[in-house]
């Protein structure tokens, strides 16, 4: 295990939420970001996800998983008001799974390609007649070409280094391109899941090393050299989806959450919907 300071601002004095279920989770005392300070290496976390897939404990064919990916594909399709947002765009989906999302993007006019660390999944993506790289990201190196759209769908919170992932995505964009992040994180929004279902489970905490609010995601994007151009109605949906473009944001526009408000949010949740 390696100790990590806050991924966003570097502060190393996390607040303790003070609940048994949250022992491994910290809230940054400066920016309110929710993260796991003690983590295995990026490679070890990736291996743990591969083992989880192999065990059958997670299946990308579950209806709920397909539903959320369809939602993102269709929400983006409608951004231009014509249903043509995807048309003729090269798309790289990082953490492509078995390729369901890329299939949906292709049906809407995109030219898809996947990036997936798990070899069995790579084969399933290719079986859909979609190209797929076998591998993972490397910071600041666009090893897999440049693209109009980079998607990180329920991937950012599961990786060992969220900022490395965002910088990779930003550096892999073509001029005028977009990075799209979707996450099921529930921070400072109406409760839609039981506390124990969200905070506990059989997987080690570092397999979900970050938990996102819209503010913290905007700040992470800014620090990776991007700015938010669109976001979904995340208050009334179970999912948060943010669309970024590359560009210099206001260096003084520090997006953050009130750390104490985040701590109290979790404490109330544990009482109101345990």
| Structural domain includes residue 60 | yes
Structural domain range at position 89: 43-245
17 falls within a domain:
no
User: Does the residue 241 lie in any domain?
Assistant: yes
Count CA within 13 A, CB hemisphere, residue 244: 30
Predicted confidence at residue 250, as pLDDT, reads 66
How many domains is the chain partitioned into structurally? 1
CATH number at residue 179: 3.40.50.150
* pLDDT confidence of residue 142: 59
Tell me whether residue 261 is in a domain.
no
Place of tokens 């014509």: 82
DSSP 88-154: T-EEEEES-TTSHHHHHHHHTT-EEEEEES-HHHHHHHHHTT-EEEES---TT--TT--EEEEEEES
Kindly state the greatest CA–CA separation across the chain. 50
Match 């939420």 to its residue by tokens: 17
* 246 Cβ contact list (under 8 Å, min separation 6): 170, 173, 177, 179, 225, 226
Q: What is the pLDDT of residue 166?
A: 96
State both tokens at 94. 């990082």
As a whole number of angstroms, the distance between CA 181 and CA 168 comes to 13
- Here the tokens at position 269 are 């949740």
The pLDDT of residue 139 is: 54
Q: With respect to residue 22, please indicate whether it lies within any of the assigned structural domains.
A: no
The CA distance from 179 to 244, in Å, is: 5
Q: What is the dihedral of CA 138, 247, 109, 236, to 10 degrees?
A: 100
Residue 9 in domain: no
Classify the C-alpha dihedral 91-224-154-145 as positive or negative: positive
* pLDDT averaged over 10-residue windows placed end to end, the chain, 274 residues: 96 95 95 97 89 88 95 97 96 96 98 94 97 80 86 95 95 96 92 85 89 96 95 95 87 84 97 94
- Residue 173 domain-assigned (yes or no): yes
Q: Is residue 30 domain-resident?
A: no
């Amino acid at each position: 295990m390696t100790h990590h300071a806050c991924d966003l601002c570097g502060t190393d004095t996390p607040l303790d939420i003070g609940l048994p279920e949250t022992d491994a989770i910290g809230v940054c005392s400066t920016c309110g970001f929710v993260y796991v300070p003690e983590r295995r290496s990026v490679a070890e976390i990736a291996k743990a996800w591969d083992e989880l897939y192999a065990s059958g404990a997670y299946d990308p064919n579950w209806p709920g998983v397909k539903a959320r990916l369809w939602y993102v594909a269709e929400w983006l399709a409608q951004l231009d008001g014509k249903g043509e947002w995807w048309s003729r765009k090269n798309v790289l989906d990082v953490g492509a799974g078995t390729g369901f999302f890329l299939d949906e993007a292709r049906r809407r006019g995109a030219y898809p390609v996947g990036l997936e660390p798990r070899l069995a999944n790579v084969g399933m993506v290719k079986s859909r007649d979609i190209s797929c790289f076998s591998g993972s990201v490397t910071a600041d190196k666009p090893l897999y070409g440049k693209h109009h759209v980079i998607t990180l769908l329920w991937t950012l919170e599961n990786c060992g280094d969220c900022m490395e992932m965002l910088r990779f995505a930003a550096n892999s964009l073509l001029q005028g391109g977009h990075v799209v992040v979707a996450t099921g994180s529930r921070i400072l929004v109406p409760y839609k899941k039981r506390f124990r279902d969200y905070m506990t489970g059989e997987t080690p905490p570092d397999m979900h090393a970050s938990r996102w609010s819209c503010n913290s995601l905007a700040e992470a994007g800014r620090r990776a050299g991007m700015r938010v151009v669109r976001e979904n109605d995340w208050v009334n949906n179970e999912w948060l989806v943010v669309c970024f473009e590359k560009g210099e944001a206001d260096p003084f526009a520090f997006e953050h959450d009130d750390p104490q408000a985040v701590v109290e949010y979790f404490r109330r949740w544990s009482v109101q919907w345990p």
